[in-house]
Each structure stands twice: as structure tokens, then as C-alpha cells.
Chain A
Amino acid sequence: AQSVTQPDIHITVSEGASLELRCNYSYGATPYLFWYVQSPGQGLQLLLKYFSGDTLVQGIKGFEAEFKRSQSSFNLRKPSVHWSDAAEYFCAVVLSGGYNKLIFGAGTRLAVHP
């Protein structure tokens, strides 16, 4: 079945530490890939996207993500986390050639300790 998996429901890191949030997808072809962030009570803000080309993409707020076709993964990284990064992070895909509906993972809630 087609799916997006975020294996980590909750992650806690210390401020200044590095971060990696995992995302795997299960589709026959390479979809378009996205990471969104949701702060409490807020909507979904696009962090970055991958459509094609360079497999390492840069986003806003110092985030980057790497697409690995062989692993069907699109992990989100940040070298040094700030307390304001505490939020919920959603990986999402759009099937290329489809009607553009986003299919979301379950999300990873990030807590940042001072």
C-alpha cells in the first residue's frame, strides 16, 4: 500500500545539538517530497521540497533534506537546533502526475531542551 512513514513520534534534543528526522515513502515511482512544520495552534509552513535534480535540498530556517532513492527516504536535518524549532514536523508526498493531493506522514513532535 502507498504510504509515508515517520518512524519517530516524539524526539527530544538539546539546544545546539544536531537533528535528523526520518521519513520513508512507499510508492512505485519517485514522488514529489515535502517537509512541513506546524507550530502549536498554527498552520502548516513549507520548509523545503524535492522535485528532481540535486538530492540535497536546502530549506528555510537552516533545514536541509536528502533524498535517497535506494532507501526511499527523505530525511530532514539541521546541524544546530534552536529552542524555536520545537514544533511538529510532517513529511508529505505528492504522486507525480496525480492531482497534487498531499499524503502526510503521522508527524514527529520535536521538543528542545535548553
Chain B
Amino acid sequence: EPEVTQTPSHQVTQMGQEVILRCVPISNHLYFYWYRQILGQKVEFLVSFYNNEISEKSEIFDDQFSVERPDGSNFTLKIRSTKLEDSAMYFCASSGRDRGNQPQHFGDGTRLSIL
């Protein structure tokens, strides 16, 4: 069964540094998402992406965050200048053709640790 893959599984970064989290969604999916889960808290929506543009973003997704689909397979989340509170598990997800009527498939996540 096709799956969403995320790299790296764990990223340790100094505060203030830029970090790029990478995701390869399921190949025929059209909608892409990033979520995060701070340790011990609920999973929170960050951003959705469709047709090469952001379709929705949360309050968390401020100017320090950006997403890109640089080629036909990768979907990246960049944090420009990391803060301690960015430490979390970041999940990428993708879903198929129909906007609301398709479940999202998640990757195993990237654990981001900011020192």
C-alpha cells in the first residue's frame, strides 16, 4: 500500500537556525498538509496546500513558516528562524482527489528538537 514518507525522522537544530522538513506524499494525491504535535498535546493543523498554493493556514503558521512543492514528488515545510517552542513532532499528510470526501494519510513524522 502506498504511504507518505517523511525525512528526517529526527532533526536537532540550534535556535535561530533554518530547518527544512521533507515529505513525499502518495503519488496520485492532490492535497497536502502539515500538522504538528507538541509533546503531550493534541495534533494541530498548520497548513493545507493544493494546486501549488496554500489553501488554508492556521494562526500557528506565521511568517516564519513556508511550504513548497519544488518538484512533482516532494512537499517541504521550512521554518526560517527556529524558536524553542517549535520543538514538536511534525506530520505530513496527503489526500486524494475529492477535497472533503477523502481521508488523509499520514507519515511517521519528524521529531524536531530545538536547542
Whether A105 touches B108, Cβ cut-off 8 Å, given contacts A44-B91, A51-B101, is no
| Total inter-chain residue pairs, C-beta < 8 Å | 66
Whether A43 touches B108, Cβ cut-off 8 Å, given contacts A90-B43, A100-B48, A101-B45, is yes
Interface size for chain B: under 10, 10 to 19, 20 to 34, or 35 or more residues? 20 to 34
Dominant secondary structure of chain B at its interface with chain A: strand
Contact A43 B43 (CB under 8 A): no
Contact A46 B43 (CB under 8 A): no
Contact A32 B100 (CB under 8 A): yes
| Contact surface of B with A, Cβ cutoff 8 Å | 4, 6, 31, 33, 35, 41-45, 48, 50, 55-56, 58, 91, 93, 95, 99-109
- A-B pairs with the 8 shortest C-beta distances? A43-B108, A44-B106, A99-B56, A104-B43, A101-B45, A43-B106, A106-B42, A99-B55
